[in-house]
Chain A
Amino acid sequence: MDKTTKVVDLEKVVIKFAGDSGDGMQLTGSQFTDTSALLGNDLATFPDFPAEIRAPQGTVAGVSGFQIHIGRIDINTPGDIADVLVAMNPAALKANKKSIKKGGTIIVNIDSFTKRDLEKAGYENSPLEDNSFEGYNIIEAPITKLTRETLKDSGLDGKSVGRSKNMFALGIVYWMFNRPMEQTEQFLKKKFEKKPEVVEANIKVMHAGYNFADTIEALPSSYTVLSANLRKGTYRNVMGNQATAWGFLAAAERANKELFLGSYPITPASDILHELAKHKNLGVKTFQAEDEIAGICSAIGASFTGSLAITTTSGPGLALKGEALGLAIMTELPLVVVDVQRGGPSTGLPTKTEQSDLFQALYGRNGESPAVILASSTPANCFDWSYMASKITLEHNTPVVLLSDGYLGNGAEPWNIKSTKDMPSITPNIATEGEEYLPYKRDDRTLARELALPGTKGMEHRLGGLEKEDITGNVSYDGDNHEKMCRIREEKINRIANILPKQEVFGKEKGDLLVVGWGGTHGSLYSAVEKLQKEGLNISLSQFNYINPLPKNTAEIFNNFKKIVVCELNNGQFVNYLRMKNQGVIFNQYNKLQGLPFTTSELEDYFKTLLKN
């Protein structure tokens, strides 16, 4: 297709597709993502669903969005605020008023700005007609009308015609960013293999949108984002929850174990269950239990029997799993508990992100019950961390809680595909048949006990939640033994620090300000710190993935900076944990509790003030 307008090169751009839940915005966004990925852009995406599945059509509660950040530079977040917004109805415009940059481009489907549509969105007058959006570049596209026009001879019914509107919008955006449409054409052909008329209609509408954009004068120029400088390799897009699931598959294969998942559906963790449920071919057994408690208990049963056993949930589910997790700690069985965190307390904000389950993971159980805590920090590295969680749990025979969050779980980015062969080996800690078996005898170095699996001759033994006698594992109510066992369980976790890599610092090892983060905030913190470094400020970042135990050089890092600020999406849980572990060190804190990730601009502003004072 010839371009009639000049093409402007951009470093990076944020685009948001927003519409009614039924408008197909997730699909539109994913198509734009896949096409951009194939062009070699670096990118990050974030879907923004309504909490209600069928919120009333046309209302603000029913708006579904998909944000994508593409660039030819390193992209670490889905972007603070959109440069371009596609709003399929007034509600989508209203819901995203704050998500669009001042002066940005807004493409609206003007056909859906009737009086009724405006009322449903809670507007008395059209925001396009008062000065609500003054200074923005508003493109009023008659998307519904032109889609109908395009398909008037297609023979499709009105409903199917209506459903292709999103392809018109996609066509416009493809034109704006100078993208080829082949990828989406291929996709449509595959998706509607059995309905060639639907394939044809959708392709036709997409081209109509593209041509519309090419023709109208409202769009002064079309933009291009060249491919990013990604490292050599084979890439694909992954979502965080998918990567988490795959890390477990890889670990099970390397450890020569069957993977068992016991789980109960909960947003935003269910996609891990869905992903693993697809892969029975790889020997995974998934069990959708009657509740979260049965999910973890079935996993512990499978672990006792020799599987790599995991359970996946979000905050409310982790609360239900507490007692059983304590049992896994007492019986020293391998188990990974994944918590894809969301806003709390209680049901809280099911579809929004937060990091407020850290204390629950660390301390939310009765008794002295230490667990290993890890946190993934980007959608793609969810793969590495579920793999590491599996390795630690199988080698040390102690449960691991892996913290992810809604933002990571649903976010996507290109992934330089790893091979299972690139991953470290995993050696499950299991007794060999024929040895004398003492269930609570330990390895001198790691203090891990060995497992003996049911079915192994001569190693019959009983486990349980009552305190264990050292070495024999028999029930013991002896006070001295209890104290000893509590200390051993603690020390066993602490010793895992011996095998951890050093905690890293991005930027200078010594300086004025150290920004500290953990888990899913990596993208925003990294972008802000990198920007300020480029401006010449003396600022570094240390993002934690190992939470308990902490890497051994942690205290050393803190001593090298004049100021430290711990940033997290909660009310200060990690910072207080660090205060407890590093008495005497002064930590500043920056917290946000809006169900949203940090924006790089708010971070930059805050860091600058800290550096000034």
Chain B
Amino acid sequence: MAHLTNKDFTSDQEVKWCPGCGDYAILRAMQKALPQLERNKEDFVFVSGIGCSSRFPYYMNTYGFHTIHGRAPAFATGVKLANPKLSVWQITGDGDALAIGGNHFIHALRRNIDINILLFNNEIYGLTKGQFSPTSKKGIKTKSNPHGTTDEPFSPSDLAIGAQGSFFARVVDTNPKLMQKIFLEAEEHRGTSLIEILQNCVIFNDKTFAPITAKEVKQEAQLIVEDGKAMLFGAENNKGLILNGFKLEVVTIGENGITEKDILVHNAKEEDPTLHAMLARMRPPEFPAALGIIRAVNKPTFNEGLLAQLEYEKENAKFKTVDELLKSGDTWEIED
């Protein structure tokens, strides 16, 4: 197999997102990540719904399908079941996945079909010009709710964990290295991998993630978790998490007798999702936001289950051809 580069994954279509949109960085990270998988280009399929984010497949020089609003998980499921050898990536927005497509989203996670879902969470409807979305912060004023929303927002991680998702990662559009790393690990993971990308929409919801991503705050406001490592963060890497009763707490090493040994060690493979959910819910200013692979547990996948049944039935079946089926059961002859 020829070695591929990011150029091989770049299509000839002009990219049409607004200048400064976070989507550009995600596209570039993907185009750089895929060559590292050492797979043939024709084996990748990008499936999307509708939204600014869902234009993504047009810019990838792979097989792609820009489908209809909210339904991409179902298309991706069909692609994966029809040809399980393909590497299937679903691109979706917060409206696409969590409003109109909420049903398909939770069912994909529940089944644990082996696809990767990139949720571009900009907490707004971009394509339709700025209405609030199911992840918009409560009270936000938009054209469709000029007096401020009264909706409680969804937390994608809680939704994913509630749907028994086996893989949840979070990343910000300002960290291309971490994006690449997570994309590669998501592809390694067998089952539905959900990656929430905090993506800035410069036009309709600019800086909504600034409390997490702004240069001045990011070291204090981000905790990049790594499996098997102590959960430390901060400019001096001396802050960490401990469990105090049933609650997480931020502590500083050296203060109140805390040593590095007291800091929680991240275990992404833990089947019990309680701690994963707590980590994913953390938000500044009280906590840093958790980034990285928060949950990655091994579970049987839907596609493998179906294939195993198919193999078994083929080997043990009474008939192997349709003609044998048509003639099975009670039949009778009519003579001339």
Contact = CB atoms under 8 A, between A and B. Distances in A.
Check if A and B associate.
yes
A503 B42 CA distance: 45
B332 A289 contact: no
Interface stretch (A47-55, A209-217, A456-464): A456-464
A209 B211 CA distance: 84
Interface string A216-249: 0000000000010011111111000000001001
Interface in B84-100: 85-86
Nearest to A253: B322
A504 interface: no
A304 B75 CA distance: 9
Which of A236, A279, A282 has its CB near the most chain B CB atoms (within 10 A)?
A282
Interface stretch (B165-173, B231-239, B312-320): B312-320
A290 B83 contact: no
A302 B79 contact: yes
A289 B103 CA distance: 11
Contacts of B323: 419-421
A75 B326 CA distance: 22
Interface in B27-72: 40-43, 45, 47, 50, 57-58, 60-68, 71
Nearest to B336: A232
Nearest to A309: B78
A460 B42 contact: yes
Contacts of B81: 260, 285, 287, 298, 302
Interface of B: 11, 13, 40-43, 45, 47, 50, 57-58, 60-68, 71, 73-83, 85-86, 103-104, 107, 306, 309-310, 313-314, 316-323, 325-327, 329-336
Nearest to A472: B12
A238 to B, nearest CB: 9
11 contacts: A236-B330, A253-B322, A260-B81, A287-B77, A287-B78, A304-B78, A305-B86, A455-B83, A462-B60, A462-B65, A464-B66
A285 B326 CA distance: 19
Interface SS of A by simple majority:
mixed
A234 B327 contact: yes
Contacts of A235: 331-334
B74 A293 contact: yes
Interface stretch (A34-42, A353-361, A516-524): A34-42
Interface in A256-304: 258, 260, 262, 279-283, 285, 287, 289-291, 293-295, 297-304
A89 interface: no
Contacts of B332: 37-38, 40, 234-236
Given A279-B325, A475-B13, 10 more contacts: A282-B319, A285-B306, A301-B76, A307-B82, A324-B71, A455-B42, A461-B64, A462-B64, A463-B64, A465-B50
Contacts of B60: 462
A386 to B, nearest CB: 12
A119 interface: no
B51 to A, nearest CB: 13
